[in-house]
Chains A and B, each alone.
Chain A
């Protein structure tokens, strides 16, 4: 569960005209603050896929487009059941992830709140769409249930695909648990749709470890749902011909090579980056900070995201039994990257370990890039290709690196 306790800060309350009214399913449109902090949450024991369904049940989504790929297929099909029950206006199966993300874009251009799911090779097939979504300022949410992208074909868990999402202009959040997944999906819509943000969001989780395992998750009543998306708060025109059709450009700069063209594209890219940064002020109260810290006054820290955090929690407990004290930084948002928060949290650390479920170690690179004295950062341990990362492996690697235990790989002279 790992739900942080304590007093929650709040995001600016919804002023949507439908607030307090009931939808066709009898759910009451409710402000997100009230959904999470002012109503009773009841524990259920669900798989991650079921948790995605329960989040979407309460999310007032207009359109969802589905396509089968392991490990997101079950969640995508469960959303279809919600559609059949009348919770969504539109739902259909697309023909490929590239097409699905285009269909999602069409629905978002037309003014709907849009949700879809993908994984692994699907994420990469869809890739051209993600910077287009961001550049078009479409606050679509895609839930990425990470899996391997390598050949030979693999369906196993692996978080390498997140690395490809980092510079798309999307918000990228990484859930550790099913509870995170539920919270991030609902909160993600609200943050991404803020008029000063209004960019797409990828809510990532580790496939199988989160989607296919059962966990106890606290859910608000299913009689509540988010207030609807208001397309007329978008910073760009909704493509519904309900506003005057001004010509967007007197001189199309798309393919011109002149200073105005360069300046337009450069400033647009800067604006998308800034929008991602501006999401911080909405995300911090929603997620209670972009990182969680446990005992960060210690000299040895683990910095991680996703299920690597859960495995690290257990590794830290094992080390504690041997008298080795290790602190933990859980990164919740990869974009925006919590630079200042991580710098502060690690300022006293002498050794920083970054365990990851991918062979590249992209999170370690991200961490190294923002820290002073980054020789403190040890990239690893890494597992890839669907292997689990036993807590003992993390504990062992920490001990070896600290010189408490000899390396099993050390060659004898």
Chain B
């Protein structure tokens, strides 16, 4: 889609909601180097969220939406859970169909968009919780990786079923006492990042959303590698503060604690050689582009 399609009809402009007017005037569609730093100075693609106060998922949504390299040609596939409450507020097309079938939907969607628009890069991004990705949907998650489907899978890992009230999930820590695990979870947290690597993902990242620049980098790498090489996977720790007994202001601390040495979410990446080459070349390109833009701006100022 070209950005020209997001416009206001003059006759109706005055009655369009202000949020939509802002979206047309100051959103970052079409800006190649958009990123988390645009938050605060431009219209975000998420209007508001209906999650709990202080939920780290909400900030994860904001960082991801700010980091997509190509939101004007990106389609999200979601699944059932807390994320499905947020997608209605997002100004990128998104599909919710069932619980756990998100990677199946994305497989059909990506192939169709490739066939219908052979000359346009249409990114498909799956965003689902850990229950959808690992438990009910693991079959379809992994099969899409086996088949080398060229889209990005993002898992919001909050280590439990949050939307249904805090039940045990496969990504929960061993020993954690939760609903449906009244004596504590009896087996280890599923090693999804390693599974993703072995199942054929060209780029895998596991991190928390405590640092926006890291989230931006992971999302951009994942989307670029998915376009050119094969499936990619990003696992983000977005703790459910409500269900782990924390206060609304304690989400950030929880994430920081978990990513320190010995924690469950020390940042890790698995990148194939081919993917690394691509990431490096994009970095060089981006740097050169930003430098020349800076130089041009400087020249314009002094001249």
Contacts and interface: CB of A to CB of B under 8 A. Distances in A.
Interface string B86-108: 11111111111110010011111
Nearest to B118: A89
Given A129-B98, A240-B75, A240-B117, A247 B89 contact: yes
Contact of A105 (B73, B74, B108, B147): B108
B109 A247 contact: no
B93 A245 contact: yes
A242 B93 CA distance: 10
B108 A241 contact: no
Interface residues on A, range: 35 or more
Contact of B5 (A92, A96, A242, A254): A242
Contacts of A249: 88-89
B298 interface: no
A149 B237 CA distance: 42
Contacts of A103: 104-105, 107-108
Contact of A95 (B72, B111, B140): B140
Given A95-B143, A241-B92, A249-B88, 16 more contacts: A63-B112, A65-B108, A94-B143, A98-B101, A106-B95, A109-B112, A129-B101, A239-B109, A240-B93, A240-B113, A241-B122, A245-B92, A246-B20, A247-B90, A252-B84, A252-B87
B97 A110 contact: no
B110 to A, nearest CB: 8
A105 B163 CA distance: 25
Contacts of A63: 108, 111-112, 115
A389 interface: no
A250 B86 CA distance: 10
A100 B74 CA distance: 23
B40 to A, nearest CB: 21
23 contacts: A63-B111, A89-B112, A90-B111, A92-B147, A102-B98, A102-B101, A102-B104, A105-B101, A105-B104, A105-B108, A106-B108, A106-B112, A110-B109, A128-B98, A129-B97, A129-B98, A132-B98, A240-B117, A241-B74, A246-B91, A248-B88, A255-B85, A255-B163
Most A CB within 10 A of own CB, among B73, B109, B112, B116: B112
B97 A132 contact: yes
A78 interface: no
A112 to B, nearest CB: 5
Interface in B210-236: none
Contact of B101 (A62, A99, A245): A99
Interface string A57-94: 00000110100000000000000000000000110101
A392 to B, nearest CB: 47
Interface of B: 1, 5-7, 20, 47, 50, 72-75, 77, 84-98, 101, 104-113, 115-117, 122, 139-140, 143, 147, 163
Contacts of A132: 97-98
Interface of A: 62-63, 65, 89-90, 92, 94-96, 98-100, 102-112, 114, 128-129, 132, 136, 237, 239-252, 254-255
Nearest to B48: A250
Contacts, number: 149
Contact of B139 (A65, A95, A111): A95
B105 A105 contact: yes
Nearest to B109: A106
Per DSSP, chain A at the interface is loop
B109 A252 contact: no
A252 B89 contact: yes
B296 to A, nearest CB: 30
A240 B122 contact: yes
Contacts of B101: 98-99, 102, 105, 129
Contacts of A128: 98
Contact of B115 (A62, A105, A250, A254): A62
A249 B88 CA distance: 5
Given A102-B140, A129-B101, A242-B1, A247 B115 contact: no
Contacts of A239: 75, 93-95, 109
B93 A241 contact: yes
Contacts of A65: 108
B75 A107 contact: no
A246 B93 CA distance: 8
A65 B112 CA distance: 12
A279 B12 CA distance: 35
A242 B75 CA distance: 10
B42 to A, nearest CB: 16
B112 A111 contact: yes
A62 B117 CA distance: 13
B116 A102 contact: no
Nearest to A249: B88
Contacts of A90: 111-112, 115
Nearest to A136: B97
B112 A110 contact: yes
A62 B88 CA distance: 29
Contacts of B140: 95, 99, 102
A242 B74 CA distance: 10
B116 A112 contact: yes
A240 B112 CA distance: 9
A246 B21 CA distance: 12
A146 to B, nearest CB: 24
Contact of A106 (B74, B105, B143): B105
Nearest to B29: A245
A108 B105 CA distance: 9
Most B CB within 10 A of own CB, among A100, A106, A114, A128: A106
A100 B163 CA distance: 27
Contacts of A244: 5-7
